[in-house]
Amino acid sequence: NAGVTQTPKFQVLKTGQSMTLQCAQDMNHNSMYWYRQDPGMGLRLIYYSASEGTTDKGEVPNGYNVSRLNKREFSLRLESAAPSQTSVYFCASSDAFGDLKEKLFFGSGTQLSVL
Amino acid sequence: SQQGEEDPQALSIQEGENATMNCSYKTSINNLQWYRQNSGRGLVHLILIRSNEREKHSGRLRVTLDTSKKSSSLLITASRAADTASYFCATFPYGGSQGNLIFGKGTKLSVKP
Protein backbone atom coordinates (compact mmCIF):
# COMPACT_ATOMS: atom_id res chain seq x y z
CA ASN A 1 0.00 0.00 0.00
CA ALA A 2 1.99 2.99 -1.31
CA GLY A 3 -0.32 5.78 -0.02
CA VAL A 4 0.57 9.07 -1.74
CA THR A 5 3.34 8.96 -4.33
CA GLN A 6 5.03 12.07 -5.69
CA THR A 7 7.44 12.37 -8.58
CA PRO A 8 10.07 13.60 -9.00
CA LYS A 9 11.78 13.79 -5.59
CA PHE A 10 14.24 16.48 -6.70
CA GLN A 11 14.25 18.93 -9.58
CA VAL A 12 16.39 21.86 -10.62
CA LEU A 13 14.97 24.33 -13.13
CA LYS A 14 16.17 27.48 -14.78
CA THR A 15 14.03 30.59 -14.56
CA GLY A 16 11.32 30.46 -17.21
CA GLN A 17 11.30 26.70 -17.64
CA SER A 18 8.12 24.72 -17.12
CA MET A 19 7.49 21.44 -15.37
CA THR A 20 4.75 19.28 -13.92
CA LEU A 21 4.83 17.64 -10.50
CA GLN A 22 2.93 14.38 -10.41
CA CYS A 23 0.94 12.96 -7.53
CA ALA A 24 -1.04 9.74 -7.24
CA GLN A 25 -2.86 8.14 -4.30
CA ASP A 26 -4.11 4.59 -3.97
CA MET A 27 -6.45 5.05 -0.99
CA ASN A 28 -9.55 5.88 -3.05
CA HIS A 29 -9.66 9.34 -1.49
CA ASN A 30 -11.88 12.00 -2.97
CA SER A 31 -9.87 15.08 -1.97
CA MET A 32 -6.34 15.98 -2.95
CA TYR A 33 -4.10 18.94 -2.15
CA TRP A 34 -0.88 20.66 -3.11
CA TYR A 35 1.13 22.50 -0.43
CA ARG A 36 4.43 24.28 -0.46
CA GLN A 37 6.74 24.42 2.54
CA ASP A 38 9.25 27.20 2.98
CA PRO A 39 11.62 27.67 5.94
CA GLY A 40 9.86 29.43 8.81
CA MET A 41 6.54 29.57 6.92
CA GLY A 42 4.94 26.25 7.67
CA LEU A 43 2.77 24.69 4.96
CA ARG A 44 0.72 26.87 2.65
CA LEU A 45 -2.04 25.52 0.42
CA ILE A 46 -1.58 26.15 -3.31
CA TYR A 47 -4.60 24.35 -4.80
CA TYR A 48 -6.93 21.60 -3.79
CA SER A 49 -9.47 19.32 -5.40
CA ALA A 50 -12.39 18.41 -3.19
CA SER A 51 -13.52 15.74 -5.62
CA GLU A 52 -12.81 14.49 -9.12
CA GLY A 53 -13.63 17.20 -11.64
CA THR A 54 -13.25 20.16 -9.27
CA THR A 55 -10.30 22.32 -8.32
CA ASP A 56 -10.06 25.40 -6.11
CA LYS A 57 -7.42 27.96 -5.25
CA GLY A 58 -5.74 27.92 -1.90
CA GLU A 59 -3.69 30.58 -0.16
CA VAL A 60 -0.86 30.91 -2.72
CA PRO A 61 -2.09 29.88 -6.21
CA ASN A 62 -0.29 32.47 -8.35
CA GLY A 63 2.15 30.95 -10.84
CA TYR A 64 0.62 27.47 -10.64
CA ASN A 65 -1.99 25.41 -12.41
CA VAL A 66 -3.45 22.05 -11.47
CA SER A 67 -5.20 19.17 -13.15
CA ARG A 68 -7.27 16.50 -11.46
CA LEU A 69 -6.70 13.87 -14.09
CA ASN A 70 -8.87 11.24 -12.41
CA LYS A 71 -9.69 10.19 -8.88
CA ARG A 72 -6.15 8.94 -8.27
CA GLU A 73 -4.03 11.66 -9.83
CA PHE A 74 -3.56 15.38 -9.17
CA SER A 75 -0.77 17.25 -10.95
CA LEU A 76 0.76 20.67 -10.30
CA ARG A 77 2.23 22.66 -13.19
CA LEU A 78 4.64 25.56 -13.14
CA GLU A 79 4.30 27.26 -16.53
CA SER A 80 7.23 29.66 -16.15
CA ALA A 81 9.29 28.91 -13.07
CA ALA A 82 10.59 31.77 -10.93
CA PRO A 83 13.21 31.71 -8.12
CA SER A 84 10.39 32.52 -5.64
CA GLN A 85 8.98 29.08 -6.42
CA THR A 86 12.01 27.37 -4.92
CA SER A 87 10.42 25.28 -2.21
CA VAL A 88 9.48 21.81 -1.07
CA TYR A 89 6.15 20.73 -2.53
CA PHE A 90 3.87 18.23 -0.86
CA CYS A 91 0.85 16.46 -2.22
CA ALA A 92 -1.76 15.17 0.21
CA SER A 93 -5.09 13.40 0.10
CA SER A 94 -8.05 12.88 2.38
CA ASP A 95 -11.32 11.04 2.42
CA ALA A 96 -14.40 13.17 1.85
CA PHE A 97 -16.55 11.33 4.34
CA GLY A 98 -16.36 9.61 7.69
CA ASP A 99 -15.08 10.52 11.11
CA LEU A 100 -11.58 11.39 9.98
CA LYS A 101 -12.33 13.14 6.70
CA GLU A 102 -10.21 16.08 7.77
CA LYS A 103 -7.10 13.92 8.29
CA LEU A 104 -4.48 14.36 5.57
CA PHE A 105 -2.10 11.76 4.18
CA PHE A 106 1.07 13.24 2.73
CA GLY A 107 3.53 12.24 0.07
CA SER A 108 7.26 12.46 0.72
CA GLY A 109 7.70 15.75 -1.14
CA THR A 110 9.47 17.25 -4.14
CA GLN A 111 12.41 19.54 -3.52
CA LEU A 112 12.42 22.12 -6.31
CA SER A 113 15.15 24.67 -6.95
CA VAL A 114 14.71 27.41 -9.52
CA LEU A 115 17.96 29.10 -10.55
CA SER B 1 -3.41 33.35 6.84
CA GLN B 2 -1.65 31.55 9.68
CA GLN B 3 -4.16 30.21 12.18
CA GLY B 4 -2.17 28.02 14.54
CA GLU B 5 1.05 29.20 16.10
CA GLU B 6 3.28 26.70 17.88
CA ASP B 7 5.40 27.50 20.89
CA PRO B 8 8.30 27.07 21.39
CA GLN B 9 9.83 27.22 17.92
CA ALA B 10 12.56 24.83 19.04
CA LEU B 11 12.92 22.47 21.97
CA SER B 12 15.90 20.37 23.02
CA ILE B 13 15.57 17.70 25.70
CA GLN B 14 17.28 14.53 26.94
CA GLU B 15 15.97 11.09 26.17
CA GLY B 16 13.45 10.00 28.80
CA GLU B 17 12.22 13.52 29.52
CA ASN B 18 8.77 14.77 28.60
CA ALA B 19 8.29 17.24 25.76
CA THR B 20 5.46 19.76 25.72
CA MET B 21 4.52 21.85 22.71
CA ASN B 22 1.77 24.43 22.58
CA CYS B 23 -0.47 25.73 19.81
CA SER B 24 -2.61 28.85 19.86
CA TYR B 25 -5.21 29.75 17.26
CA LYS B 26 -7.50 32.65 16.48
CA THR B 27 -10.93 31.54 15.30
CA SER B 28 -13.48 28.90 16.29
CA ILE B 29 -12.54 25.44 15.19
CA ASN B 30 -14.17 22.14 14.35
CA ASN B 31 -11.05 20.19 15.24
CA LEU B 32 -7.33 20.54 15.79
CA GLN B 33 -4.73 18.08 14.56
CA TRP B 34 -1.08 17.41 15.28
CA TYR B 35 1.35 16.17 12.64
CA ARG B 36 4.98 15.06 12.80
CA GLN B 37 7.58 15.63 10.11
CA ASN B 38 10.89 13.83 10.15
CA SER B 39 13.72 15.56 8.32
CA GLY B 40 13.30 15.32 4.56
CA ARG B 41 9.96 13.51 4.78
CA GLY B 42 6.28 14.28 4.47
CA LEU B 43 3.99 15.00 7.38
CA VAL B 44 2.42 12.16 9.31
CA HIS B 45 -0.86 12.56 11.17
CA LEU B 46 -0.56 11.92 14.90
CA ILE B 47 -3.86 12.78 16.52
CA LEU B 48 -7.08 14.72 15.99
CA ILE B 49 -9.07 16.33 18.78
CA ARG B 50 -12.54 17.75 18.21
CA SER B 51 -13.86 20.99 19.66
CA ASN B 52 -16.11 19.15 22.11
CA GLU B 53 -13.20 17.10 23.49
CA ARG B 54 -10.79 18.29 26.17
CA GLU B 55 -8.15 15.58 26.22
CA LYS B 56 -7.07 12.70 24.05
CA HIS B 57 -4.39 10.04 24.35
CA SER B 58 -2.56 7.92 21.82
CA GLY B 59 0.30 5.81 23.14
CA ARG B 60 2.88 8.24 24.59
CA LEU B 61 1.00 11.24 23.20
CA ARG B 62 -1.42 13.35 25.18
CA VAL B 63 -3.26 16.24 23.58
CA THR B 64 -5.35 18.80 25.41
CA LEU B 65 -7.65 21.41 23.96
CA ASP B 66 -8.92 24.54 25.70
CA THR B 67 -11.41 26.23 23.39
CA SER B 68 -11.95 29.12 25.83
CA LYS B 69 -8.25 30.01 25.54
CA LYS B 70 -8.02 28.89 21.91
CA SER B 71 -5.03 26.74 22.69
CA SER B 72 -3.85 23.15 22.57
CA SER B 73 -0.86 21.30 23.90
CA LEU B 74 0.91 18.15 22.78
CA LEU B 75 2.77 16.17 25.44
CA ILE B 76 5.18 13.41 24.47
CA THR B 77 6.08 11.34 27.51
CA ALA B 78 9.33 9.43 28.02
CA SER B 79 10.79 10.84 24.81
CA ARG B 80 13.12 8.85 22.58
CA ALA B 81 15.76 9.90 20.07
CA ALA B 82 13.36 8.71 17.36
CA ASP B 83 10.92 11.45 18.43
CA THR B 84 13.32 14.03 16.99
CA ALA B 85 11.22 15.80 14.36
CA SER B 86 9.17 18.91 13.68
CA TYR B 87 5.66 18.97 15.06
CA PHE B 88 2.87 20.98 13.49
CA CYS B 89 -0.58 21.83 14.71
CA ALA B 90 -3.30 22.28 12.12
CA THR B 91 -6.73 23.76 12.69
CA PHE B 92 -9.92 22.96 10.83
CA PRO B 93 -12.19 25.97 11.25
CA TYR B 94 -15.79 25.70 12.37
CA GLY B 95 -17.99 25.39 9.29
CA GLY B 96 -14.97 24.73 7.11
CA SER B 97 -14.76 22.41 4.18
CA GLN B 98 -12.06 20.45 2.40
CA GLY B 99 -9.11 22.75 1.80
CA ASN B 100 -9.59 24.76 4.98
CA LEU B 101 -7.00 23.00 7.16
CA ILE B 102 -4.42 25.59 8.22
CA PHE B 103 -0.98 24.67 9.48
CA GLY B 104 1.22 26.46 11.96
CA LYS B 105 4.95 26.98 11.52
CA GLY B 106 5.96 24.07 13.71
CA THR B 107 8.07 23.21 16.74
CA LYS B 108 11.41 21.58 16.08
CA LEU B 109 12.06 18.95 18.74
CA SER B 110 15.51 17.51 19.33
CA VAL B 111 15.83 14.55 21.69
CA LYS B 112 19.42 13.84 22.69
CA PRO B 113 20.40 10.26 23.59
* pLDDT tens-digit series, residues B42-55: 999 999 999 999 99
Q: How many CB pairs under 8 A join A and B?
A: 59
The C-alpha atoms of residue B2 and residue B26 are separated, in whole angstroms, by 9
Average pLDDT in chain B: 92
How does residue A1 score in pLDDT terms, banded at 50, 70 and 90? Answer: low
pLDDT (0 to 100) of residue A98: 63
| Shortest CA gap B90–chain A (Å) | 10
Is residue A89 within a helix (H) or strand (E), and if so which, with residue range?
Answer: strand A87-94
Q: What is the mean pLDDT of residues A69-98?
A: 93
pLDDT in tens, A91-114: 999 986 666 677 899 999 999 999
Distance CA B110, CA B101 (A): 26
**What is the predicted pLDDT for the residue at B98?**
65
| The predicted structure's pLDDT at residue B95 | 72
Tell me what the mean pLDDT of segment A71-75 comes to. 97
Three-class SS of A24-45: EECCCCCEEEEEEEECCCEEEE
| Distance, CA of B57 to CA of B4 (rounded, Å) | 21
CA pair distance A79, A76, nearest whole angstrom: 10
Residue A52 near residue A103, CB atoms below 8 Å: no
Q: Which of B43, B45, B99 is closest, CB to CB, to A48?
A: B99
Distance of alpha carbon B111 from alpha carbon B113, whole angstroms: 7
> Are the Cβ atoms of B92 and A96 closer than 8 angstroms?
no
Q: What is the pLDDT of residues B54-63, one digit of tens each?
A: 999 999 999 9
Residue A7 has pLDDT above 60, yes or no: yes
- Name beta bridge partners: A90: A35
Closest by CA to B21, choosing from B11, B31, B36, B32, is B11
